[in-house]
Structure 1
Amino acid sequence: MADLKSHVHAPGWVGEFRAFIMRGNVVDLAVGVIIGAAFTSIVNSLVKDIFNPLIGLLIGGIDFSNLFITLKGPHLATLEEAQKAGAVTLNVGLFLNAVIQFLIVAMAIFWMVKALTRLHVREDEQPKAPPPPSKTEVLLEQIRDELAANNKDQAPHQG
């Protein structure tokens, strides 16, 4: 039995998959997804608990989460009651919440990218040492210096 296990080889794609998972950009992506999930819960709370009440107050006390159109079934006061009764509804308020959440996330990403771009530009503005001369430039300087030295040696002496 032990001899049989030593002859079993993993398929080639297992090694490729392991190499793919261990790449830095995959790890960065995983971190981004985790941060995005945490950021989503913050944005959901911001929309639900801060913006929706303010917008509802501005437009006459309408609660977006209960803004719906009943297509079939009983017409009830809240979306939760309508769904419990089995009504078919168009959930306009929930859609508006999703649009508001998207706009908030897009605005936050816009400002974050803008700040990072500004920070990156400032880093680029710092003075840098000039790059070392290329091999061609060094060789041309040596030729120039050699020619200048030869011209001094061959110049007629006045005296």
Structure 2
Amino acid sequence: MIEEFKKFIMRGNVLDMAVGIIIGAAFGKIVSSFVSDILMPPLGLLIGKIDFSNLFINLSGTPVSTLAEAKAAGLPVIAYGSFLNAVIDFLIVSFAIFMLIKQVNRLMPAQPAPKTPHLCPYCKTEIPEGATRCPHCTSKLDDSDS
């Protein structure tokens, strides 16, 4: 069983997938930092000096002024500012992946369309191009059929 597991784990596609997941996680952290530390502060400043990461709805009757205070007190809150940051993270990552796939598809050679099989007009089995008789039913094929 251990040998079988070694063969499985050492296959190229498993290693490629592992590398992709690790790089994707690192890329996600970079995007999260970009959104919360670089993109949202100027956006909040433009909108009216809003700190998106501190936007929340307090569901308890206890008054608090920041999300950190509410979390430290264990109060139930809806942290919609954090959710907004996560949505923007997702949109940026999705767009980056879209652009990457678009470029990879552009660089990859176009695959030729699959050839439609040539069928015997009598038994409808596939026959080689240019055949004069069907190898399945032995019917004689006209030049117009092949």
* Common fold: TM-score over 0.5: yes
Match of 1:92 in 2: 80
Gaps of 5+ in 2: 112-127, 130-146
Match of 2:51 in 1: 63
Q: What's the % identity of the aligned pairs?
A: 58
The TM-score normalised by the length of structure 2 is 0.70
Residues 1:107 and 2:79 aligned together: no
| Within-5 A mapping of 1:1-159 | 13-121=1-109, 124=110
Shift of 1:75: 2.3
CA separation in 2, counterparts of 1:62 and 1:42? Answer: 22
CA deviations 1:27-58 (Å, max 9, x no partner) are 00111011112111210111011211132123
Alpha-carbon contact 1:43-1:101 (below 8 Å) kept: yes
Alpha-carbon contact 1:71-1:88 (below 8 Å) kept: yes
SS at match of 2:108: helix
Gaps of 5+ in 1: 1-12, 126-135, 138-159
SS at match of 1:59: helix
Q: Which has the larger radius of gyration?
A: 1
Instruction: Provide runs of 4+ in structure 1 moved above 3 Å.
Output: none
CA separation in 2, counterparts of 1:17 and 1:110? Answer: 34
Shift of 1:73: 4.5
Let me know the Cα RMSD of the aligned residues. 2.0
Structure 2 letter corresponding to 1:108 = A
CA separation in 2, counterparts of 1:34 and 1:86? Answer: 33
Structure 2 letter corresponding to 1:86 = G
The TM-score normalised by the length of structure 1 is 0.65
Higher helix share: 1
